[in-house]
Structure 1
């Protein structure tokens, strides 16, 4: 069986005017990796690629570590810890940050919310949405709370509204106008994301994966757009590093974001292992392009470690 743990921000502190950027400290990361080691055996990406059926179906517990979004702090703060512990992880990168030198929309939202309260952000949305299209149904409110289960309800509703109720064009139009009044995009790109040298080194070590071009929920796009998201990023990474990139992590990773034909197109574009954010242990029935992952908070020492404990009990 296989447990996959996923991380995003890794920094020494997360102090901002408003809480919106969450992650782990290097100390927490190290402690959690040690705790995970006590539950099983870390596996390298290459070992999983070559033996995924045997690994997933095995009674032995294997563990893979992943990082999404290609953040510089992952390379600077997390990789030295992994190296010291002898762990090879997968780092999934969006090519938008490198090809277009642009800040990913999701990170613009994180940064803005660190400076603007949730209530004030809803006020901006209300001014923007004169037709009421961002109003959530009861079902959507439930989906929001379930999907963003580590946030308070108001924050979960805001995230859901921004990510799933507005078109990409509407999101970009709204967020860019606000972002430009608070941040210097060029500086944010330089500070927030890895360098190309980092990507080349990760590829040499077999630790680089595709997170699509622009970090959008693929299941809401048409076939042509999905194909473009996969191919643009995969081609960029392979041309830069001269290494094959067979791994992909789907942005957001929900059932809706990974809905058909996402897996089919991922396979057709040369990906062999794909990772969702369905929180569970992989035990043998999973398609290799739809592997399940826990958020690190679901695992030992995390805020919701009972999720892992429950999944473990179901197996044993």
Structure 2
């Protein structure tokens, strides 16, 4: 068995010049058609049966995933439903429990509102940003599509700064933009009825509570991040949640302790952003499955042939 997991985030026709890398419905449709030439699409329900039975069918399979419970992804859901293509939508829970947006999404808005140089200078004045020594392999693994300066900014904010400092930076810069926090949250995230609809069709998974890189947290905090989300989503939908995609998903965000905690909490499928094709042996730990960005998959913006079997 070969399984290619392909991940999407923003689904919109207007693609800002910086900060947000989206796919339009037409681009997604083109890519799905291309993927369908090489793979059979597989559902969460089918994957769970395979993992539990440990019987791996021969063939090439593809699972489509969406992270971050963005409202615009419901347009993708409508297209997928119309064309009988299964998917898994991974939802965080902070927007529903705390009525707040995630730092990562505020940052995406910040990146479209400020120049990289302005953000870097702000960080330099407060934290000596330019003095930090960056590992180029880490930068490339996490942010391969960005400029060198943007890679450093993102890594510094998401992985280096303590949470308290990051939140201060994010809220300060975000509040100086023209958007209101209320409208930002209302327009960005799915509603509760959307989550119920996805769960009723066995398409819902968790993306944790507050979208933090779990491998940087203590074990107790990892349990909280996963547990709070599972409790909310299962009570809201009346359905058990058995799959997780890890925020950020690269080596700096996911490790064996994270997958062990996920297993302990009853999860069965876990998707990283460690790029590659999954084969039978990868299912020995089905909570550390590989996944690729839409840009890297057949039919993506990079026009890569790496994952054409």
TM-score interval, normalised by the smaller of the two chains: over 0.9
Q: Where does the alignment leave 5 or more consecutive residues of structure 2 unmatched?
A: none
After superposition, the CA RMSD in angstroms is: 1.7
Q: Report the equivalent of 2:267.
A: 271
2:47 is equivalent to residue 52 of structure 1: no
User: Counterparts of 2:41 and 2:6 in 1: how far apart (Å)?
Assistant: 11
1:56–1:282: 8 Å Cα contact kept in structure 2? Answer: no
1:9–1:71: 8 Å Cα contact kept in structure 2? Answer: yes
2:38–2:308: 8 Å Cα contact kept in structure 1? Answer: no
2:184 is equivalent to residue 185 of structure 1: no
Q: Report the equivalent of 2:198.
A: 202
Q: Where does the alignment leave 5 or more consecutive residues of structure 1 unmatched?
A: none
Structure-2-length-normalised TM-score? 0.94
Deviations 1:216-267 (A, max 9, x none): 0000000110000000001000000000000100001112211131001001
Cα deviation for residue 280 of structure 1 reads 0.7
SS in 2 for 1:254: coil
Q: Could you list the runs of 4 or more consecutive aligned residues of structure 1 that deviate by over 4 angstroms after TM superposition?
A: 53-57
The 5 Å alignment of 1:3-152 reads 3-15=4-16, 18-52=17-51, 57-75=56-74, 77-129=75-127, 132=128, 135-138=131-134, 140-152=135-147
1:281–1:312: 8 Å Cα contact kept in structure 2? Answer: no
User: Counterparts of 2:92 and 2:242 in 1: how far apart (Å)?
Assistant: 15
Cα deviation for residue 85 of structure 1 reads 1.2
User: Counterparts of 2:194 and 2:11 in 1: how far apart (Å)?
Assistant: 16
2:169 is equivalent to residue 174 of structure 1: yes
Q: Report the equivalent of 1:280.
A: 276
User: Counterparts of 2:140 and 2:6 in 1: how far apart (Å)?
Assistant: 21
Deviations 1:288-314 (A, max 9, x none): 1111111011111213343xx33556x
User: Structure 1 residues 258, 56: CA separation in 2 closer, same or farther (over 3 Å shift)?
Assistant: farther
Which range moved further: 147-156 or 192-201?
147-156
SS in 2 for 1:27: helix
User: Counterparts of 1:273 and 1:27 in 2: how far apart (Å)?
Assistant: 29
- 1:153 equivalent among 144, 148, 155: 148
Cα deviation for residue 160 of structure 1 reads 1.0
- 2:297 equivalent among 296, 299, 311: 299
User: Counterparts of 2:296 and 2:19 in 1: how far apart (Å)?
Assistant: 19
Cα deviation for residue 141 of structure 1 reads 3.4
User: Counterparts of 1:53 and 1:281 in 2: how far apart (Å)?
Assistant: 20
2:298–2:307: 8 Å Cα contact kept in structure 1? Answer: no
2:298–2:308: 8 Å Cα contact kept in structure 1? Answer: no
